[in-house]
Structure 1
Amino acid sequence: MTRPTLDDIFAEDDEFGLLEVRPRAAGGSNPGDRGVAVLREVTAFYEEHGRIPDTDADDHDEMRLGTIWNRASQTPTDQMIAEDRLGLLNVAAPLQVSWRDEPSTEDVPDSLDEIFDDDDLSVDPSLVVLKHATAAADRHLPDHRAEFVPCRDFELYRDRFEAVQQALERGDRQAIPVKKWAVIEPLEGDFFIRNGLLAMIAEKSEMTARGGSRDHRLRVIFSNGTESDPLMSSFRKSLNDDKTARLVQKVGMGPLDPDWESDQLELSGTIYVARSRSDDPAIKQQRMLLHKIGVTSQDVHRRVADARNDPTFLLAPVEIVAIYELKNLSRRKVENLLHRFFVSARPAELFVTDRFGKKVFPKEWFYVLPDHVAQAAKLIGDGTLHGYRYDVVRQKIERKVEGAR
């Protein structure tokens, strides 16, 4: 099939008139008519607002009209002058300042103070007030560091260190290198070699949500008679960073071997009763009845030194109101016994919100008095706690009735 040429296309009937092009009149419409139309728009604007339109206005229509008026008013036609009943053509247009223009000497400030004192630089206070940010005074700053201090009860652990050292020298126990980036979960009684010293995990306190992540506070005792209380994550990092760090192999063949738990500590500790000094109204109004019951093997005041950063302590400082020493009793078992004994007095609604907006529900706080804890501690020492119960309504420890559950 032969394709049509342009001549053939143009020779065809123009059914829709597409080829009919009307030439534009030379010179366009009458400029005077356009100027008069703009003058009438500006006159109407002036009568409504009492001013001529601003070329820098936020409103697009006003800005457009002001720009057109500035151009038209520079060369007014005779028709515009005749139509100008308000004398708008004689109104001086606002001075348009351009960044290209050289500033006058008076406009150049002499100092920074003069710049900041300029009223035109005033800023809405809401723009400079920090929101959703923790104040500097309330930031995550520890009240103490996990420094090395003399271990006050090192004599209780000396034999353990000597036994482990001798076992390593005989080859009965192996020191396994700690691999870099290894995730280590230390348990109470575990031994490590760090910076050339034997280190024993003497205590692993209750879990907390410090820093937005779950963690434990450790009590680590070293073979040179010192101790420290780092967070478990910090201790793990120190092992990873130490190229000579070692994990001392446990005794026995595995978790099913009775000797596997031989390193576990069953030494006595201290029962402490703490009272919150929180400014939270919900906690403050019941602070004389709400107490934390804890058991620790380290110095009690060192244990609570960083309370304001620890959700376990309601993110607030605490005061120690009572201390009871344990004698030849398992610290972990005593703590579990006390918490189970007073479980009916545990406030289910108690929680704190950490820095990340997450709710934390501490489980170590109870509506009890220090005297109640003292009485329960004595019953534990006598081995008769199982024969008593705590009546949360009467706030009294009473003997169980025979046959009652």
Structure 2
Amino acid sequence: MAKGFTDEDDALLEELGVEVEGKKESSRTPREERVIAGFEEIQRFVEQHGRTPQHGEDRDIFERLYAVRLDRLRELPDCRAVIKPLDRLGLVASAEPAADSAPDELSDDELLAQLGVDTAEPADITELRHVRSAAEKRAAEEVANRQTCDDFDIFRPLFEQVQKELSSGLRQTRRFERKSEIVPGRFYILGGQKAYVATMEQPATNEHGNIDARLRVIFDNGTESNLLMRSLQKALQQDPAGRRIVEPSAGPLFSDQNEDGDEASGIVYVLRSQSDHPALATHRDVLHKIGVTGGDVARRIANARLDPTFLMADVEVVATYELFNINRARLENLIHRIFGLARLDVEIKDRFGMPIIPREWFLVPLFVIDEAVERIRDGTITGYVYDPKSARLIRGAKQQS
């Protein structure tokens, strides 16, 4: 008779065609029940994904847990005996035991601890909190492992200049997002300190198939760290205040056409003087005026021969770049700062005889201006100035404000 039912109940159930056998007591121990339940989870994973669970720090935490658990089940003879009749996928019968055998069964908490996961709260693996993989722990240790920067005097002026540009609004900071890149020559904010990526070794593919590279990172407190690019990326992403320091002009400023929602802000123009003055004509090929206007360039230069800003002569437009959503004054200041060492030092008298010193003419080849524009566009202009002696952009030279 079924437990909890009377004879009349049994008779009624039999008439209805319902079996009334008593519940069979399980002959398995609690440990065997746990082994079977854990193995069934592994089989469900295999059926869902079409493969056995794999090890690896880039794998989902539960897949890694199943992989370790499957290794342990294969290693322990008593566990293999329990699950063999249930091994419909041949996961145990078709695999050799792992080399690093364990003498005893590991609990979920012990498995997670082996994987580098903190399970202080709670114990239920379906409600994991504060999970840190071994890779994340190594990344944190790598960032924290700093030493004194012996040649910090070389980098100090760069940090001072960056701070000035942040204070003046010439530079901005933006949240370091997952899609953000680590680029040598750029500045970041990590743990409340400015970090400068001084060098990057040749990128290579690591054991997980990801591109990585060793960096030399200088911090504004006079320390440095040799860490991996992906370690710095993770640290910046996990830091609530992690930022990247960019120029106001970083991003798609120059384009043949604007994207939806962009508002036109103006034109960067490059002019060449048609003056026949001997001092100007001699350097005609490298003497350029670089300016920014919110109006029409042709209208801007219509009366150039009457304007000392244009050296009291007609000019030729040699290059223009349309820009969107940008502060024109700040961009112009940035360009003039880059080429400050090559500014033309000349005094021109206007039509009334008043002396004027133009500020937008520079002795710079056009190809260098093009390079500067491209670097402003992609945000790699940081730390560059024009060197008149070598006629090229260089990094780390003393910059003018």
Q: TM-score range by the shorter chain?
A: 0.3 to 0.5
Q: Which has the larger radius of gyration?
A: 1
TM-score, with structure 1 as normaliser: 0.32
